[in-house]
Amino acid sequence: MPLRPKLPEKIYQRSLFSWVLTSNLKLQILLMAVIMVTVAVRVFPLEMQKKIINEAIGGQRVDLLLFYCGYYLVAVVSASGLKFLINAIQTVIGQQSLADMRKKLYAHILTLPISFFRTASPGMIVSALVTEVANSGDFIGQAIAVPVTNVLTLVAFAAYLFYLNPLLAGLSMILYPLALIFVPMMQKRSNAANRERVDSGRAMSTMIGETVAGVHEIHGNASFRHENNRFGAITDQQYKVRLRWNLWKFAIKNSNNFFQSLGPFVLFLVGGWLAINGRFDLGALVAFLSANEKLYDPWKELMEFYQNWQDSTVSYNRVMEYFATDCQFTLEPATERTPLSLPGLVEVKDLVMEVPGGIRLLKGVSMTVEPGQHLALVGFSGSGKSTLALCIAQIYKYSSGQCRLGGQEIAEMAKSDLAENIGFVPQHPFIFEGSIKENLLYSVHARLVARGLDPAEHEPSLDRLIEVIQQVGLFLDVLGFGLNTVFRKGRKENLVHKVVSIRAAYYTEQGRELRNLVEFFEEGRYLHHSSVAANILFGNPNDEAYLPENLPGNADFREFLAEAGLDLMLTELGRELAMRTVDILGNVPEADATFFQQTPVLPEEFAAYSQLAERLVRPDLSDLSGEERGMLLKLALRFTPGLHTLASLAAASESMLLKGRSMFMERIAARAPQAVTFYRREDYIHSQTILDNILFGKLKTESPKVLDTVNKTIIRLLIQEDMLERIVELGLEFQVGTHGDRLSGGQRQKVALARSFLKEPPLLLLDEATSALDNASQARIQNLLDTRWKGKATVIAVVHRLDTIMGYDKIAVMKAGQIVETGSYQELMDRKGMLYELVHGTRGGS
Amino acid sequence: MSSSTEHGAAAKDCEYSEFLEIMRGLPLFARVPLEVSKVLAYLSQAETFQPGDFLVREGEHAEAFFYLTRGRLQVTRQANGSAVSVKELGPGASFGGLALILGAKSLYSVSAMEEAEVMILAREKFLKTVQRFPQVEPALLRSLAEHVLAWEERFLNRHPEEFASLGRDFGLSLF
């Protein structure tokens, strides 16, 4: 390819214009060609104009008139067709370059050191990638087409004018150089005023922010006048700057127009005089005037392009400056090869890690961990144990000394090589949106891609996944998720029958114990752990329209509510729920799924209910629209007193709803007996979860301990029916929510551990990886490490809780960035040094 | 707060209002702004414990704050292989403030002596809330420091003799 420029290696050093050169060159060449044709086509009508007037009209020849007009038409039609073509090509180029720029910038951002993200705000990164680069994309599309088209058009028209009459042409163009001098000068002033405007705008928002934060002080001192004066001063300054800025902008526009309109003045004067004297024919004068007028558009477009260029350069540079940090490590080896496979030997020698400000977090640490050996790093917070782990994980870059894995210096290793050989579980593992399974496979997938394999084909088997979730103690949780699945009617019918048979067996076995824990579906009682909808329906909807979520929109059901006298009560209940929820959660910034577990409002509906709540303050609900009443009814029907503690049902309301239940039964029996089958012990209930189906009721508590006990007692029956794997498989599909916020802290850590275990790396780095787990789970993980991993894989674990370190081969105690003692647990305890002090909780001295 | 009580839909005082009331009265949350107390009360849950059930076990990580609304609880600690009863707690008692902030292992076991009704605020929910309201942590820290100081002062005043003999172990408020 010609014209392939030498680009700077770093994306942030590239100029905006370099993206033009790397854009689709074939398209750019095509674009130039189209532009050439367009320009020629644009001049053509002018010549036709002249001929129509002089030869056709002047010579009174109709045939020539038609002939030239035909040419004129063709030229005009093709000019607009070509203009569209130019725009289209331009857009394709611009959007391609924008996509290219976004991808490269994103790839660059991913590689930036962790310290960058400590200070960068996610909002800034989002707006840089999403909005700010978009301007640059538009610009790249225009960068060649606009100036070239317009300059060429200008030149072409100018040449045509000279061809018509050099004297007039020269006169009419004498003014353009003046514009070229004055406009940029004024633009400079305007830019300066613009920058000042931004600054004073910032001052103003700071001042307003202060007023809001300190309003009690203002009220206390009655300093209204003083504050008004301060604000007034800033506002006046802002006013002056804005005025200046706007005036400059108009000045630029107007002087442009002025230079433009002076053209015809000269033409009329001189051209008219020449025509009167017969030294210039009329057709030529008309053509001349048209051509001169046509100079205006390209000129204007050039000016706009100039403006646009300036703006996008400013914002492009701002974006690039923001990301002007280098990746501290190599991502991939220089020559393509499969990642290295290294033994789990870790050698650290005189390792120093210094952060800006001259603070040394590690002050010369040395240690060796043999392949298969397990080392625990202990010490007080801030002793450098996590820092050491993060240096080995290549997340921090150490300042001096050596740190080797399998003989390779970690700082020089490519990320892909290191990732192949270590499993790293950080203190606060990140769980991505998606299913549990996707999260479990995250590391394995990345590794398969690095090896050039298709992840879908080499995925670990279900058995292997189950083995790992059992090892980390996640099995019961996943089973629980699986048991929480709701089957729609017509799906998995074979499973459904098995569930019903488990129900009977389970009740005979556990019935007595369950009585305290479960609220059974009993006809004569109000169910506090079921929704209002389920309490009224009390059955399995066979007709889509009677699914709980469809009830608020079901006209027949609405009619029933009105007849049963329930609608007013439910609207009131809905209002209470909406108002309470908005009152409580309205002030919570970025409320995630956790905050919506105890309200019938769903996170995605919150904004709508916030708006509605403003209108609910008035006690009179009669002026609510039908849609708004529907929203309130929706909440009321979801309301489950046992779960949604922010409101409660009065006894009278409960008996009304119970009465409603029997009325509804009668009504359905009379009108549409097929639509709902009422709860029967022999039937599967499609609107309820598998667990509720097995229990034939709802658990009264959310307590994880109770859930675990219940799940454990169900397992045997599931195995008997050969259903266990199926349910676990369903559980693996559980969607964890953004940031995994539908999982508990312990579950997140277990997922992160399982993720690394699945990978079976030669070195496992655990940075307080079990800190959120209860003692039993922690002991289980420790036991797993001791029995299955010892001798096979190296483990370096940063440990805060000391009750689990007995099983480690070696313990290194750190203090103030140094290892102060190393040895087996017994040796160190016998020595009665630092470890002894840590374990016995005496903090030397006091 | 709302006029709907007259209409009877949610006439009973709901758990949330009850918990909010409780929370406003607890020294630990005294300095927490109302908007945050509301969220914490909302995220709290009621649970019933049967006699013999453990709320917290010694040595395990305490992960919640408890407020006893009904029943009696027993606090014990293992000493020389047997559980020594430290004290009994009745309605209105609360514990677990340190657990919320630190989540460290518990030094005591707490179990139900009779059927007990407890308001529970889980640490995880507490932390999620606190992260969203940066002004809460200093408020809690202050309440906690005041509590420590008051405790030691009271202890020193009550046990002047022990202070002389066990002096080495005092001075918590010097931290």
Suggest the residue from A216, A584, A616 to mutate for an interface test with chain B (most B CBs closer than 10 A): A584
Residue B122 lies in a domain: yes
DSSP string computed for B118-141: EEEEEHHHHHHHHHH-TTHHHHHH
Report CB contact under 8 Å: A575, B42.
no
Q: Which residue has the tokens 């658990």?
A: A699
CA nearest to A715, candidates A732, A730, A728 = A728
Highest mean pLDDT among A71-75, A713-717, A764-768 belongs to A764-768
Q: What span, in angstroms and rounded, lies between the C-alpha atoms of A531 and A636?
A: 9
Please check whether residue B130 touches A, CB under 8 A: no
CA distances from B49 to A37, A271, A484, A713 (A): 87, 104, 25, 20
Find out whether A798 and A386 touch, Cβ atoms under 8 Å. yes
How much is the pLDDT for B3? 39
Q: Calculate what percentage of chain B has a pLDDT beyond 90.
A: 47
Please check whether residue B124 touches A, CB under 8 A: yes
Token pair in block for residue A451: 């090896």
How much is the pLDDT for A329? 81
Residue A109 lies in a domain: yes
Q: How far apart are the first and last CA of chain B?
A: 43
Find out whether A812 and A820 touch, Cβ atoms under 8 Å. no
Q: What span, in angstroms and rounded, lies between the C-alpha atoms of A267 and A102?
A: 51
Report CB contact under 8 Å: B15, A801.
no
A812 with A690, same domain? no
Report CB contact under 8 Å: A745, B124.
yes
Residue A522: strand, helix, or coil = coil
The band of B59, judged by pLDDT with boundaries at 50, 70 and 90, is confident
CA distances from A797 to A82, A363, A761 (A): 68, 20, 14
The CATH number of whichever domain residue B104 belongs to comes to 2.60.120.10
Report CB contact under 8 Å: B8, A649.
no
Taking CB atoms and an 8 Å cutoff, what residues of chain B touch A592? 128
Taking CB atoms and an 8 Å cutoff, what residues of chain A touch B46? 645
Taking CB atoms and an 8 Å cutoff, what residues of chain A touch B124? 594, 744-745
Taking CB atoms and an 8 Å cutoff, what residues of chain B touch A598? 42-43, 45
Beta strand B64-70 pairing with A818-823 = unpaired
Helix spans in A736-774 (H): 745-759
- Please give the residue range of the domain that contains residue A456: 346-476+734-840
CA A413, A417, A419, A422 torsion-angle sign? negative
CA distances from A554 to A252, A533, A547, A644 (A): 63, 12, 10, 24
Task: Using CA coordinates, name the residue in chain B closest to A578.
Answer: B2
- To the nearest whole Å, the CA of B11 is away from the closest chain A CA by 5
How much is the pLDDT for B8? 39
Residue B23 lies in a domain: yes
A649 with A684, same domain? yes
Token pair in block for residue A213: 């934060």
pLDDT tens readout for residues A751-762:
999 999 998 899
Residue A760 lies in a domain: yes
Residue A426: strand, helix, or coil = coil
How much is the pLDDT for B6? 38
Token pair in block for residue A362: 């590690």
How much is the pLDDT for A1? 39
Number of domains comprising chain B = 1
The band of B75, judged by pLDDT with boundaries at 50, 70 and 90, is very high
Contact partners, residue A76, CB within 8 Å, separation at least 6: A45
Question: Residue A172 pLDDT > 80, yes or no?
Answer: no
Residue B92 has phi, psi (to 5 degrees) of 100, -15
A493 with A350, same domain? no
- To the nearest whole Å, the CA of A211 is away from the closest chain B CA by 19
pLDDT tens readout for residues A76-130:
888 889 889 988 988 888 888 889 888 988 988 888 888 788 777 676 677 778 8
Question: How far does CA A157 lie from the centroid of its chain?
Answer: 51
How much is the pLDDT for A5? 55
Question: Residue A378 pLDDT > 50, yes or no?
Answer: yes
Task: Using CA coordinates, name the residue in chain A closest to B131.
Answer: A589
A622 with A763, same domain? no
Number of domains comprising chain A = 4
Strand partners, A698: A519
A458 with A502, same domain? no
How much is the pLDDT for B71? 95
Q: How many CB atoms lie within 10 A of CB A103?
A: 10
Question: How far does CA A568 lie from the centroid of its chain?
Answer: 41
Number of H helices, E strands in chain B: 6, 8
Q: How many CB atoms lie within 10 A of CB A840?
A: 11
Strand partners, B49: B116
Question: Residue B7 pLDDT > 60, yes or no?
Answer: no
Residue A471 lies in a domain: yes
Token pair in block for residue A656: 């009304």
Residue A752: strand, helix, or coil = helix
Please check whether residue B79 touches A, CB under 8 A: no
The band of A842, judged by pLDDT with boundaries at 50, 70 and 90, is low
Q: What span, in angstroms and rounded, lies between the C-alpha atoms of A435 and A457?
A: 19
Exposure string for A473-482, b = 16+ CB within 10 A, e = fewer: bbbbbbbbbb
Q: What is the CA radius of gyration of chain A?
A: 38
Question: Residue A413 pLDDT > 50, yes or no?
Answer: yes
Suggest the residue from A580, A749, A801, A842 to mutate for an interface test with chain B (most B CBs closer than 10 A): A580
Highest mean pLDDT among A52-61, A769-778, B89-98 belongs to B89-98
Beta strand A763-767 pairing with A422-425 = parallel
Report CB contact under 8 Å: A645, B35.
no
How much is the pLDDT for A468? 93
A4 with A64, same domain? yes
Contacts across the A-B interface (CB distance below 8 Å): 99
CA nearest to A476, candidates A685, A829, A714, A149 = A714
A252 with A363, same domain? no
- To the nearest whole Å, the CA of B147 is away from the closest chain A CA by 21
A159 with A201, same domain? no
Report CB contact under 8 Å: B16, A647.
yes
Q: What is the CA radius of gyration of chain B?
A: 18
A137 with A177, same domain? no
Report CB contact under 8 Å: B14, A645.
yes
Taking CB atoms and an 8 Å cutoff, what residues of chain A touch B60? 774-775
Report CB contact under 8 Å: A594, B125.
yes
- Higher-pLDDT residue of A341, A127: A341
Taking CB atoms and an 8 Å cutoff, what residues of chain B touch A569? 7-9
Report CB contact under 8 Å: B15, A583.
no
Binding-site residues on chain A for chain B (CB distance < 8 A): 516, 568-570, 572-573, 575-576, 579-580, 583-585, 587-592, 594-595, 598-599, 619, 645-653, 701-703, 744-745, 774-775, 801, 803, 846
Q: How many CB atoms lie within 10 A of CB A573?
A: 29
The band of B74, judged by pLDDT with boundaries at 50, 70 and 90, is very high
Helix spans in A267-394 (H): 272-276, 282-294, 296-322, 385-392
Find out whether A572 and B9 touch, Cβ atoms under 8 Å. yes
When the pLDDT of each residue in chain A is averaged and rounded to a whole number, the result is 85
Question: Residue A22 pLDDT > 90, yes or no?
Answer: no
The CATH number of whichever domain residue A30 belongs to comes to 1.20.1560.10
Please check whether residue B46 touches A, CB under 8 A: yes
How much is the pLDDT for A274? 81
A192 with A116, same domain? no
ipTM > 0.90 (yes/no)? no
The band of A49, judged by pLDDT with boundaries at 50, 70 and 90, is confident
How much is the pLDDT for A510? 78
Residue A382 has phi, psi (to 5 degrees) of 85, 10
Contact partners, residue B37, CB within 8 Å, separation at least 6: B20, B23, B24, B29
Residue B4 lies in a domain: no
Find out whether A398 and A349 touch, Cβ atoms under 8 Å. no
How much is the pLDDT for A266? 75
A186 with A154, same domain? no
Find out whether A423 and A759 touch, Cβ atoms under 8 Å. yes
How much is the pLDDT for B1? 39
How much is the pLDDT for A449? 84
Task: Using CA coordinates, name the residue in chain B closest to A587.
Answer: B35
Mean pLDDT, to the nearest integer, of A535-539? Answer: 89
Residue B165 lies in a domain: no
Q: What span, in angstroms and rounded, lies between the C-alpha atoms of A478 and A486?
A: 15
Question: Residue A664 pLDDT > 80, yes or no?
Answer: yes
Suggest the residue from B1, B2, B47 to mutate for an interface test with chain A (most A CBs closer than 10 A): B2
The band of A633, judged by pLDDT with boundaries at 50, 70 and 90, is very high
When CB atoms are compared, the residue of A584, A650, A803 closest to B8 is A650
CA A830, A831, A837, A839 torsion-angle sign? negative
The band of B9, judged by pLDDT with boundaries at 50, 70 and 90, is very low
Contact partners, residue A357, CB within 8 Å, separation at least 6: none
Identify the domain boundary among A294, A327, A360: A327
pLDDT tens readout for residues A234-293:
899 989 988 998 898 888 878 877 777 777 777 778 878 888 887 777 777 777 777 777
Report CB contact under 8 Å: A648, B59.
no
How much is the pLDDT for A177? 76
Q: What span, in angstroms and rounded, lies between the C-alpha atoms of A449 and A454?
A: 7
Token pair in block for residue A168: 């007039």
When CB atoms are compared, the residue of B9, B15, B16 closest to A650 is B9
Taking CB atoms and an 8 Å cutoff, what residues of chain B touch A652? 8, 11
The CATH number of whichever domain residue A421 belongs to comes to 3.40.50.300
- To the nearest whole Å, the CA of B54 is away from the closest chain A CA by 11
Which parts of A635-738 are beta strand (E)?
A: 676-678, 697-699
The band of B167, judged by pLDDT with boundaries at 50, 70 and 90, is low
pLDDT tens readout for residues A544-576:
888 888 888 888 899 999 999 898 899 999 999
When the pLDDT of each residue in chain B is averaged and rounded to a whole number, the result is 86
Residue A297 lies in a domain: no
CA distances from A91 to A25, A30, A78, A83, A303 (A): 14, 13, 20, 12, 20
Residue B19 lies in a domain: yes
Express the helix, strand and coil content of chain B in percent, nearest 5 each. 45, 25, 30
Report CB contact under 8 Å: B124, A516.
no
How much is the pLDDT for A128? 76
Report CB contact under 8 Å: B39, A775.
no
Residue A295 lies in a domain: no
The band of B11, judged by pLDDT with boundaries at 50, 70 and 90, is very low
Average the pLDDT over each of A288-292, A640-644, A675-679 and give the range with the smallest value: A288-292
The band of A3, judged by pLDDT with boundaries at 50, 70 and 90, is very low
Show the CA angle centred on residue A399, arms to residues A393 and A401, nearest 5°.
80
Average the pLDDT over each of A182-186, A565-569, A612-616 and give the range with the smallest value: A182-186
Mean pLDDT, to the nearest integer, of A823-843? Answer: 85
Q: What span, in angstroms and rounded, lies between the C-alpha atoms of A733 and A478?
A: 9
Which parts of A422-495 are beta strand (E)?
A: 422-425
- Please give the residue range of the domain that contains residue B24: 13-156
How much is the pLDDT for B171? 77
Report CB contact under 8 Å: A650, B171.
no
Find out whether B55 and B110 touch, Cβ atoms under 8 Å. yes
Report CB contact under 8 Å: B132, A585.
no
Residue A703: strand, helix, or coil = coil
Please check whether residue B4 touches A, CB under 8 A: yes
Question: Residue A346 pLDDT > 50, yes or no?
Answer: yes
Residue A63: strand, helix, or coil = helix
A157 with A180, same domain? no
How much is the pLDDT for B12? 53
Taking CB atoms and an 8 Å cutoff, what residues of chain A touch B129? 588
